Structure 1
């Protein structure tokens, strides 16, 4: 199946999509270092360094199986200025243009959890309606909220009988719930062309916080298997009793993957005499400050962040039980984001960390796009005259 990747960054979504069985006709990204990373690791990909606003998507034909991408998150990020539609970095209009011009069988767009906040409810619904009717284009000098009114009237009128795309209500997924050693929440927009009988659903959870807590404090196998003493405060008995009851009533999920287990096969970079592992170099200067206290070893990592000017102080670091701190190396951060070990990141330390902080975890991307691939593989094409929103 053929796919086009836009806003590719370092390739987290593109690699997950590749692992799900899609072949990229092109991978588009504007950042020089990110493009260098993509080219180094996937020399067979057609990596296009360009501003998507200059791209003519018709060059890749029409009727691709998938368009995927992560429009810049800063307009909606909790750490950003929250300007949304007033931020010139809002690239959802370009994602929608790509859908309009290529008419793929399916699309997957992801963004930060901040877009799911209540203050963005109306704009989130606006995005969903645009993806449902991508041909109903915003007019020149038309404000977005006026365009929204037109879309709502079209949807509730006769136009609602013939949607161009069937769009799943956007879903926030926590990467840790799918085996990623990081508590990272992303919102996904998924849709299928109206003539595709997709039968899609979001992937079911495979891992849980409760199972990790059970193995630590009830079975105690977590500490015993690693030959260490507990590094955290024991939860209340009331909480543990609730976890035991819930565990008896449902299918057991796997435990969340911890930062300790994620990086256990790497040497501590503080004590390396030579650097034998690519991107695994100690960076000094890590320090905590209020609200930014690093990640403990025996939980999944906190969300890796990019920062406006490189790595933000107090983020992307390990908080050791003895009260010391250090930054995660680029290689460790890549493992936290579930990039394959052979992937090498180009650019300075801060630029490589920016690529990783902006990425979607590869395993999470694979889970979502594998569901899309399965839906497309099993789909029947509905005659257009019978195509209706169910």
Structure 2
């Protein structure tokens, strides 16, 4: 079964989808560095390093079974000011145009959870309606990557479509009500540094904002958080590479400082002893990229590619469920029931 990956970035979604059994024959990515990375690891694909709005996808009609991709999510993210469909970066219409031109049997769209929230909800429902109008049975869910063995708490929206029947997402394999615990980021990284960390000291915040966990809240300056040695870390950000880069607490300061603050102690000042920022290579490991994966461009570009990507292990879990359903071999016990909210809306179309 052949596919196209739109807005592919360095290829996180393609890597997982291909492991699941699909053959990605073309990708679209406007960023030069991300395309160089993708081409390095997917040499047989047709690579379109240009604006998706300039591409005619009709030559792929009858040659492609699935279209996958994550249209730029800035219009619906907190960091992107949530301008939604009024934002020129909204590429969801281009994803839908590709579906209409290619008419694949299936599609998989990935995006930010903010698309489903109150302010964006009317637009989200209009997107679901437009996807259904293309001839697809639709299902969607916001899932946490950690529930599928990724050592990172990363919530993402996935929308699945099929021309023949409603596709279901895989049930969680890790965490509560499963046989496996969540995977810790520390267990994947190991005890020794990998790669070159950014020279951005971690400092104690002047006005710390505590949370129940010593590895959450705004206790240190910048957007980076200490890595929890016993569980998944916070989402690896595309803005990593500076003060938003997560860090390893080599001297176990975080739990001690958290207890000190909860007991009413005064905030500490200065640089956090033993705090070491994550390198590109370590961020890529947490994102579940293969160890041999090399990223093109400057370090800032590499961090962005890693942080923007779909974790390949998550893409594999969803792709494997989709592939098996497409071939009629998936056991219903391993799938999440269809989203009832949309079932009801679809009936009203």
- TM bucket by the smaller chain? 0.7 to 0.9
User: Aligned partners of 1:56, 1:290: CA distance in 2, in Å?
Assistant: 43
Shift of 1:348: 1.1
Separation in 1, partners of 2:55, 2:285: 33
CA contact (8 A) 1:289 1:314 kept: no
Match of residue 158 from structure 1: none
Question: In the superposition, relative to structure 1, how do residues 121 and 108 fare at CA in structure 2: closer, same or farther (>3 Å)?
Answer: same
Q: Output the CA distance in 1 between the equivalents of 2:88 and 2:8.
A: 18
TM-score by length of 1: 0.71
Deviation at 1:65, TM superposition (A): 1.1
CA 129–63 in structure 1, closer or farther in 2 if over 3 Å, else same: farther
- Which residue number in structure 2 is paired with residue 326 of structure 1? 276
1:202 alignment partner in structure 2: 169
Stretch deviating more after TM superposition (35-44 or 103-112): 35-44
- Give deviations 1:266-293, integer Å, cap 9, x for gaps: 7325xxxxxxxxxx22321142416643
| Counterparts of 1:286 and 1:94, CA distance in 2 | 41
Q: Secondary structure of the equivalent of 2:74?
A: coil
Q: Deviations over 1:283-326 (max 9, x none)?
A: 2114241664333332211101113xx64523333344235322
Give the alignment of 1:1-390 within 5 angstroms.
Answer: 1-62=1-62, 64-134=64-134, 164-168=135-139, 170-193=140-163, 196=164, 198=165, 200-208=167-175, 210=176, 252-264=178-190, 267-269=192-194, 280-287=195-202, 288-289=220-221, 292-307=224-239, 311=241, 313-320=243-250, 321-322=252-253, 323=272, 324-378=274-328
Whether contact under 8 Å (2:61, 2:104) holds in the other structure is no
1:61-107 Cα offsets, whole Å, 9 max, x none, are 33621000000111111222110111100000000001111111000
Q: Distance in 1 between matches of 2:11 and 2:158?
A: 17
User: Which consecutive unaligned segments of at least 5 residues does structure 2 have?
Assistant: 203-219, 254-271, 330-345
Report how far residue 53 of structure 1 moved. Answer: 0.4
Q: Which has the larger radius of gyration?
A: 1
- Distance in 2, matches of 1:257 and 1:331, equals 18
Across the aligned residues of Structure 1 and Structure 2, the Cα RMSD in angstroms comes to 1.9
Displacement of 1:343 in angstroms is: 1.1
Q: Note if contact 1:305-1:311 (Cα within 8 Å) is conserved in structure 2.
A: no
* Structure 1 pair 282–311 and aligned structure 2 pair: CA distance change class (3 A): closer
Aligned in 2, Cα 1:130/1:355: closer, same or farther, shift over 3 Å?
same
Task: Sort the Cα spacing of 1:122 and 1:63 in 2 relative to 1 into closer, same or farther, 3 A.
Answer: farther
Q: Which is richer in helix?
A: 1
Distance 2:223 2:48 in 1: 38
Deviation track 1:348-390 (CA, whole Å, cap 9, x = no partner) reads: 11100000111111111111111111111129xxxxxxxxx88
CA contact (8 A) 1:4 1:25 kept: yes
Distance 2:189 2:224 in 1: 21
- Aligned residue pairs total 294
Q: TM-score, normalised by structure 2?
A: 0.79
Q: 2:275 and 2:36 mapped to 1: Cα distance?
A: 31
